[in-house]
Amino acid sequence: MTTAGEIMHPGAQWIPATETLDRAAQLMSRLNVGALPISDGEERLCGILTDRDIVVGCVAMGHDPSKITAGDLAKGTPRWIDAGADVSEVLEEMQSHQIKRLPVIRNKKLVGMISEADLARHLSDKQIADWAEQVYARG
């Protein structure tokens, strides 16, 4: 059995909900990532911020990224997976919610993220094709 913990990119970092988007973009650049999990004051997952969220939800709307916070863009119910979950559960979670990145939690702590690149490195071509068909399907 392959687990979420085995395919994830370890060492993911939270961004506090109170952090501004310009600082979030700087952290993304420094970490070379396109998404950051957003944490509330008690380090609980309250959303995921993507580089696209910053561009579309802030910059394109004419807002100042130094005045908008990560929490301002956190919407919906954040999805996550336990580090011990089987890869089939990872795929189901990502497919059923049409998401491309999934935080990995162990003992209520963020331990990593699973992205498309992680899936591509660890799954068969058929698994990747099935995943992509479901995640990218719009309907």
Is it the case that residue 122 has pLDDT exceeding 60?
Answer: yes
For the entire predicted model, the pTM comes to 0.88
Helix or strand run (H / E) with residue 37: strand 35-39
- Give kind and range of the element (H or E) at residue 30: helix 21-31
Name the average pLDDT for the chain. 92
Quick one: which of 43, 117, 52 has its CA closest to 80? 43
pLDDT, one tens digit per residue, over 55-98 is 999 999 999 999 999 999 988 788 999 999 999 999 999 999 99
